[in-house]
Structure 1
Amino acid sequence: MRSTITGTARLTKTHKLSAIGVTVAMSAAAVALAVTPGQADTPSIAAKPVAWTTTDLGAHDHIAQQGEQAAQQAKTAAAAKKKADAAAKAKADAAAAKKKADAAAKAKSDKARADQQAASRSQARTPVKPAAPAKPAPAAPAAPVKKAYADNLDGWIKESLDILKSKNIPATYDGIKRNVMRESTGNPRAINDWDINAVNGVPSKGLLQIIDPTFKAYHVEGTSWDPYDPVANITASCNYAADKYGSMDNVNSAY
């Protein structure tokens, strides 16, 4: 009978050697029967093909097992290499990311330090603004240039008219001169020591014969307080006449 073994059968080395011996012996016996002397007349017994033995099957399974082990080892090695490559790539990516982050942090730190240094230099080198020059004290208004007037009756009347005009006191050259000539004939030192005013102790004085109380009451600012001063005498007398008569032009006699 042909011996068979299952795919899970495993033979030891001793078993395999015993099986080989049995097979060889059986083969020799078959040959002997076929050619034994004296049996030439006897019909020969045909040798049957040798069937597969357990030895042959064990060798076949061993080869198959080795192939499976090699494939599994290759698969395991490939998986391990893939895992190692992935780990190496992850490590390289992490290192690159850290390097990039470190470079960005260093650049930011360098920029901050540079900005701080620039600010410090700028602050240190900021030129001090010169103090604004002190504004000069406002100059006193220049005294108006005094108009030159002749030191005579014409000049006195003209100067008085300019002062009267600045004070809005009405008078004319002719009105003033006419009354001056009647009262003092143009003498600024004239004095009346005989009329009622003289009797009362306040004589009339100057070009237009004005008494001291009236001169003081109608004195025009900017002129002398001396009733004998020709300009002061004329302006005070014209101020009084304007108040009492509307203008010196309206005076034609003692006033």
Structure 2
Amino acid sequence: MPAFALPVRRRNDRSKATRVRRTLAVAATAAAVLALPVVGATSASAATPAAEAATATTYRGSLDGWIRQSLAVMAKHGIPGSYQGIYRNVMRESSGNPRAINLWDSNATKGIPSKGLLQVIDPTFRAYHVPGTAYDPYDPVANITAACNYAAHRYGSIDNVNSAY
């Protein structure tokens, strides 16, 4: 074997490693989502059962709440991603505006503009829509969750997306 040749990596090894990374990312996402309701509690007695139940299913109508609600849906469906990865991509794509629409790029010239927090085009939204979310690309939770589902299939996780996707 020549000194400059790199070892050949078998495709099967790569997909196995990808599955392991994705499984770990899903487990980390689920752990983070489970920890969210008790983050504000200062002691075990500070969070009442009623408050815990409300916090677990109710989120504020803000970017923070939309991301947290999306993470909860993603955990139920095994879609990896982190709060930081979603937030970073939302800020780059829409600056946090759920009604953002791109009317100038190549998708827009084809008649399918990118929409919402993570700038998803309609065909991608339809293909990667996650049950339990609204069927509306402008709905913040549906947009985030569909985009993260797409990113998981294409890049392993939204955390691996660092530019337009």
TM-score by length of 1: 0.43
- 1:172 and 1:221 map into 2 onto residues whose CA distance is 20
Q: Would you say 1:162 and 2:72 are equivalent positions? A: yes
- 1:167 and 1:194 map into 2 onto residues whose CA distance is 34
Quote how far apart the aligned CAs of 1:239 are.
0.1
- 1:182 and 1:196 map into 2 onto residues whose CA distance is 18
Instruction: Map Cα deviations across residues 179-198 of structure 1 (whole Å, 9 max, x no partner).
Output: 00000000000000000000
- 2:78 and 2:142 map into 1 onto residues whose CA distance is 16
Structure 1 runs of 4+ aligned residues shifted over 2 Å read: none
Quote how far apart the aligned CAs of 1:164 are.
0.1
Q: Which residue of 1 aligns with 2:100?
A: 190
Q: Which residue of 2 aligns with 1:210?
A: 120
- 1:152 and 1:169 map into 2 onto residues whose CA distance is 22
Quote how far apart the aligned CAs of 1:226 are.
0.6
Number of residues of Structure 1 aligned to a counterpart in Structure 2: 112
Quote how far apart the aligned CAs of 1:148 are.
1.1
Letter in 2 for 1:171: G
Letter in 1 for 2:62: N
| Structure-to-structure mapping, 1:44-63, within 5 angstroms | none
Instruction: Map Cα deviations across residues 88-108 of structure 1 (whole Å, 9 max, x no partner).
Output: xxxxxxxxxxxxxxxxxxxxx
Quote how far apart the aligned CAs of 1:165 are.
0.3
Using CA pairs below 8 Å that are at least 6 residues apart, which structure has the higher relative contact order? 2
Q: Which residue, out of 35, 59, 64, partners 1:149?
A: 59
- 2:75 and 2:65 map into 1 onto residues whose CA distance is 15
Identity percentage of aligned residues: 68
Q: Would you say 1:173 and 2:93 are equivalent positions? A: no
Q: Which residue of 2 aligns with 1:223?
A: 133
- 1:147 and 1:234 map into 2 onto residues whose CA distance is 17
Letter in 1 for 2:129: H
- 1:175 and 1:239 map into 2 onto residues whose CA distance is 13
- 2:73 and 2:119 map into 1 onto residues whose CA distance is 20
TM-score by length of 2: 0.66
- 1:203 and 1:168 map into 2 onto residues whose CA distance is 28
Q: Which residue of 2 aligns with 1:237?
A: 147
Q: Which residue of 2 aligns with 1:18?
A: none
- 1:154 and 1:193 map into 2 onto residues whose CA distance is 26
- 2:98 and 2:104 map into 1 onto residues whose CA distance is 18
Larger-Rg structure: 1
